[in-house]
Amino acid sequence: MSVLQEISSNVKNMKQLEYSALARRLKQIKEDLRQGVRKPFKEVIDVSWGDPHRGGMKPLTFVRQVLAACLYPQLLIDNKLPVDVRRRAQKLLDGCAGRSVGSYSATGGIPEILQRVSEFISRRDGGVPSDPENIFICCGSQWALTRILNVLVNAEAAFTTGVLAPASCHRTTTLSIEGLGGVVIPYYLSEEQGWELQVEELQRALESAEGACNPIALYVINPGNPAGHVQSRRSMQEVIRFASEKRLFLLADEVYQGCIYGEKEFVSYKRVLAEMGPPLSDTVELASFHSASKGFMGECGLRGGYVELVNLDPAVQKYIYNLFTTDSCAPLLGQIALDLMTNPPLPGDPSYFQFDQETQHIKSTVVKNVKKVCEAVNGLQGFSCQGVEGGAFAFPRIHLPAKAIQKAKDVGMQPDTFYCLKLLEEAGVLASPGSEFGQKEGTFHIRFCILIPHDVLEELLRRLTHFHSQFMKDFS
């Protein structure tokens, strides 16, 4: 009898991803194309990931030059690399044991990098102090989130631990909660009000959990994923007051803070909290997460993320530190990516001009994309899109005809998964179905990445528009 027949029930309880069916089909289609099978498209546009490089965006030159020089210090002797690149690489190597990125670092991260990250946070937050001792660099922000959840979720308690999270939430977060033996308490963002987070809805969600679990934390993601909303200050204050009143630990996922397109500005939960003054500013327990994977850098593969802990019980924080020690440390390349993200070239530096050009280009591309997407989608029957204020995705709603919904049921699929599968097969576009993330009963959505080159987006929209019109006709 296989030992593996008995496995952890927590793992068994993690729901299977909708994505798997689409991923399998994608693999087949890619193979077909490689073998020269004729299809209505020459290549697949895969926008199911929040991954700018995969989508065709270019890495920032300064970042890659510094990385190369850190990896292969022979390049420091070379005059081909700009002087600020070489200087930065030297400085970073000085912070590495044995001057090598192949050494372990201190648990939370290289101290000099933690110091610079804390200074970045303070600058960002208009001077609110940030202490490097409260920052832990990890192998990606999701890894850090899982670690913090590990401390919050008490699988041994009589009552299951509950974590409030958006009903439409990217799967890694909900999987982490379930995998640790916790339960997700979903709250719905108000789609008609631009995916606004309304505190009455938080109240309702909390009440629904009464007697079913022990709510300990509230997870918010701002800017959002999959919905691309940016919270207003007022909304954030309400969330903070709610967390305080209801005694909830606040988990603020802010990895998309670098992706802002509209008029709304990003302000961090930490800043809003500080500005609310005591007693809230001294008592609300907060963990905020950031990453080198999003924003203009888009270095998802380098695995660089961090968590900043605010107002934690020092005795508990000591145990959190212990927990992090078992990971040894975050990958050095990820730490370096964070350093570069938080300390880019400044005006006057030799690399500044190119850096600025590259980031401005990315920014204007995405702003253009957002506009185009909303125009295109809102111009189609059975398709509507709230404004994308931030984040990496568009999350339009598809108003599926009854026939399509029935057909999907007949083949045993979620209706929007069915839509996405057909979109992939007929138009060569891979988007993610809303059912992957959760959504209000009876509504359907698709999510696709908009951090892609403009010409790719135009092609995507061309194919999507054509497909959608046909789909609606076929199932009317």
Partner 1 sequence: MIFMKPLEAAQTSTLSSPGCSSRKVTENVATPPIMSSLAVNGVSCRGKVLTLDSMNPNVRRVEYAVRGPIVQRAVQIEKELREGVKKPFTEVIKANIGDAHAMGQQPITFFRQVLALCSYPDLLEDNKFPEDAKKRARRILDACGGHSIGAYSASQGIECIRQDVARYIEKRDGGIPSNPDNIYLSTGASDAIVTMLKLLVCGDGRDRTGVMISIPQYPLYSAALADLGAEQINYYLDEDKCWGLDVAELRRALNAAKQRCKPRVLCIINPGNPTGQVQSRECIEEVIRFAKEENLFLMADEVYQDNVYAKGCKFHSFKKVLFEMGPEYSDSLEMASFHSTSKCYMGECGFRGGYMEVLNMDPEVKAQLTKLVSERTAVLAALAEKARLTEEMFNTVPGITCNPVQGAMYTFPRITLPQKAITKAQEEGLVPDMLYCMKLLEEEGICLVPGSGFGQKEGTFHFRMTILPPTEKLKVVLQKIRDFHLRFTQEFS
Residue number with CB closer to partner 1 (75 or 213): 75
Smallest distance from the beta carbon of 340 to partner 1, in angstroms? 12
Smallest distance from the beta carbon of 476 to partner 1, in angstroms? 37
Residue number with CB closer to partner 1 (18 or 191): 18
Smallest distance from the beta carbon of 378 to partner 1, in angstroms? 29
Residue number with CB closer to partner 1 (38 or 80): 80
One-letter identity of residue 73: P
Residue number with CB closer to partner 1 (312 or 380): 312
Residue number with CB closer to partner 1 (189 or 297): 297
Residue number with CB closer to partner 1 (36 or 278): 278
Residue number with CB closer to partner 1 (93 or 374): 93
**287/306 Cα distance (integer angstroms):** 10
Smallest distance from the beta carbon of 448 to partner 1, in angstroms? 15
Residue number with CB closer to partner 1 (312 or 374): 312
Smallest distance from the beta carbon of 140 to partner 1, in angstroms? 9
Smallest distance from the beta carbon of 473 to partner 1, in angstroms? 34
Smallest distance from the beta carbon of 380 to partner 1, in angstroms? 29
Cis omega (within 30 of 0) for bond into 166: no
**425/369 Cα distance (integer angstroms):** 24
Residue number with CB closer to partner 1 (265 or 313): 313
Pairing of strands 45-46, 429-430: parallel
Q: Which of 381, 414, 376, 412 is nearest to 394 (CA)?
A: 376
Smallest distance from the beta carbon of 275 to partner 1, in angstroms? 11
Smallest distance from the beta carbon of 102 to partner 1, in angstroms? 4
The phi, psi pair for 128, rounded to 5°, reads -60, 125
Residue number with CB closer to partner 1 (225 or 386): 225
Smallest distance from the beta carbon of 298 to partner 1, in angstroms? 6
Q: Which of 402, 430, 436 is nearest to 416 (CA)?
A: 436
Smallest distance from the beta carbon of 431 to partner 1, in angstroms? 16
Residue number with CB closer to partner 1 (153 or 431): 153
